[in-house]
């Protein structure tokens, strides 16, 4: 039992609708990450199905239970946080499975749906669960969720040390050539202002004309990346050994200030 953990972000290029290929790519990335010492692997949003569905029928056809991801974690003896299209009866969710080597810890269902996702998926209905592991406490959120500071704060208040972010970031208007992705900026600000580790695994490539921007990264509670940003267009895996206890320590700035205890809940009106 140590708070040291080696985290990997597998930046992949899933193929829309080709589950066999996507599962094989994920399996290969996990094997390579474990080879490099990974205890925990984070994989992109909807990494078994692809992203750009054009009908509920299509989304339904490519949705499933978390069983395949649980089996991958078990086979490689690793923790795995991966995005998948979850089917629960007639309902579909854009979810992340949080898997331990010995079984499913739980599922996070994306609370903030982006664009046409709202046409196929139900909004998340499981809140933001935080899971205990031998190395510390972890939570997951997905892509557009990261635009909502409320959710990062809930993760910290809920005790999370590390937030894993399966994502499919898309280009944002206003970014000049060579500037860091605004999605990276959001992860850095959230890490710093909540005292959290953040491990965001994005995808690359394009589906039906929609490009994705890569730039996966692992951010320390200081707010500065310890690995990445990864490239904008290549499949690659970031690996970093991190100490989850640093998250809790980082919240105390000095004798007077603690990030979470300094909140003025008496003054906030956030309806």
- If one asks whether residue 114 binds a copy of itself (CB under 8 A), the answer comes out as yes
Residue 28 vs 115, nearer CB to a copy of itself: 115
| Residue of 9, 47, 99, 143 marked active site | 143
Which residues face 241 on adjacent strands? 6
Of 9-17, 47-55, 189-197, 227-235, the window that binds a copy of itself (rule: CB under 8 A) is 189-197
- If one asks whether residue 263 binds a copy of itself (CB under 8 A), the answer comes out as yes
Angular region, 72: left φ>0, alpha ψ -120 to 50, beta rest: alpha
Q: How many Å apart are CA 122 and CA 117, to the nearest integer?
A: 9
Which of 47, 111, 163, 196 is the binder for a copy of itself (CB under 8 A)?
Answer: 111
CB 269 within 8 A of CB 253: no
Q: For the CB of residue 152, give the shortest distance to a copy of itself in the complex, in Å.
A: 7
Q: For the CB of residue 261, give the shortest distance to a copy of itself in the complex, in Å.
A: 11
Q: Report residue 201: phi and psi, to 5°.
A: -110, 110
Where would I find the H helices in 87-244? 117-120, 149-157, 182-194
Of 51-59, 72-80, 200-208, 251-259, the window that binds a copy of itself (rule: CB under 8 A) is 251-259
Which residue bears the tokens 């007077």? 256
- If one asks whether residue 193 binds a copy of itself (CB under 8 A), the answer comes out as yes
The number of CA neighbours under 13 Å toward the Cβ of 254 is 1
Q: How many Å apart are CA 19 and CA 58, to the nearest integer?
A: 13
Of 5-13, 46-54, 72-80, 248-256, the window that binds a copy of itself (rule: CB under 8 A) is 248-256
Q: Is 143 a catalytic residue?
A: yes
In the shown chain, the binding pattern of residues 210 to 229 toward a copy of itself, with x for contact by CB under 8 A and - for none, equals ----------x-xxx-----
DSSP state of 224: S
Q: How many Å apart are CA 63 and CA 81, to the nearest integer?
A: 17
Q: Which of residues 123-162 bind a copy of itself (CB under 8 A)?
A: 123-124, 127-128, 144, 147-154, 157
Determine the Cα angle at 160 with ends 34 and 75, to 5°. 25
Query: What residues line the site for a copy of itself (CB under 8 A)?
Result: 111-116, 118, 123-124, 127-128, 144, 147-154, 157, 172-176, 179, 182, 185-186, 188-190, 192-193, 220, 222-224, 254-257, 259, 262-265, 267-271
Q: Which residues are catalytic?
A: 45, 110, 143
């Amino acid at each position: 039992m140590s708070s040291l953990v080696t985290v990997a972000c597998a930046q992949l290029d899933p193929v829309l609708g080709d589950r066999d290929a996507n599962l094989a790519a994920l399996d290969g990335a996990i094997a390579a990450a474990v080879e490099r010492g990974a205890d925990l692997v984070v994989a992109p949003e909807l990494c078994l199905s692809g992203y750009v569905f054009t009908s509920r029928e299509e989304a339904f056809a490519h949705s499933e239970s978390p069983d395949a991801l649980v089996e991958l974690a078990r086979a490689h003896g690793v923790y795995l946080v991966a995005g998948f299209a979850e089917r629960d009866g007639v309902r579909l969710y854009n979810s992340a499975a949080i898997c331990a080597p010995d079984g499913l810890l739980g599922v996070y269902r994306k609370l903030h749906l982006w664009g046409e996702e709202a046409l196929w998926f139900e909004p998340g209905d499981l809140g933001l669960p935080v899971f205990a592991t031998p190395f510390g406490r972890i939570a997951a959120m997905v892509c557009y969720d990261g635009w909502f500071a409320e959710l990062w704060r809930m993760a910290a208040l809920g005790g999370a040390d590390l937030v894993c972010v399966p994502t499919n970031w898309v280009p944002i208007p206003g970014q000049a050539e060579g500037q860091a992705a605004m999605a990276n900026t959001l992860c850095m600000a959230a890490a710093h202002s909540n005292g959290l580790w953040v491990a965001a695994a994005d995808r690359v490539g394009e589906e039906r004309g929609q490009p994705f921007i890569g730039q996966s990264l692992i951010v320390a509670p200081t707010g500065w990346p310890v690995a990445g940003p990864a490239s904008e267009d290549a499949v690659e895996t970031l690996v970093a050994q991190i100490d989850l206890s640093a998250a809790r320590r980082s919240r105390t700035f000095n004798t007077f200030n603690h990030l979470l205890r300094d909140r003025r809940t008496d003054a906030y009106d956030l309806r």
